[in-house]
Amino acid sequence: MRQVKINSTTGSEIVTSTDLKLYAKIDTTADDAIIGRQITQARIWCENYISRDIVAKNRSYYLDATEGIFSIPFGPVSSIVSIHANGVAVTHTNIGLDKETIELDGGPAIKVTVVYITEGLNDSLLQQAILQLAATYYENRSDFNSGDENNASDLIPTDTRDTLNSYKAMFL
User: For the chain, what are the domain ranges?
Assistant: 11-54+121-142+152-165, 58-118
Q: Answer yes or no: are the C-beta atoms of 5 and 62 closer than 8 Å.
A: yes
Q: Answer yes or no: are the C-beta atoms of 46 and 54 closer than 8 Å.
A: yes
Identify how many contiguous H helices and E strands the chain contains and give both numbers: 4, 8
Q: Give me the sheet containing 2-9, strands edge to edge.
A: 2-9, 57-66, 109-118, 77-85, 88-89
Q: Model confidence over 51-60: pLDDT tens digits? A: 999 999 999 9
Using only the alpha carbons of the chain, give its radius of gyration: 19
For position 172, what pLDDT does the model report? Answer: 44
pLDDT at 2 over 80: yes
Q: Model confidence over 69-84: pLDDT tens digits? A: 999 999 899 999 999 9
Query: Which helix (H) or strand (E) element contains residue 77?
Result: strand 77-85
CA distance 47 to 45: 5
For position 153, what pLDDT does the model report? Answer: 47
Q: Model confidence over 124-148: pLDDT tens digits? A: 999 999 999 999 999 887 655 555 5
Indicate the average pLDDT of the chain.
89
Task: Provide CB contacts within 8 A for 72, sequence distance 6+.
Answer: 61, 100, 101, 102, 114, 116
What ranges in 2-141 are assigned the alpha helix state H? 17-24, 32-50, 124-139
Higher local confidence (pLDDT), 155 or 85: 85
CA distance 11 to 40: 12
Higher local confidence (pLDDT), 170 or 22: 22
Over residues 91-116, mean pLDDT: 92
Looking at the DSSP assignment, which residues form a beta bridge with residue 170? Answer: none
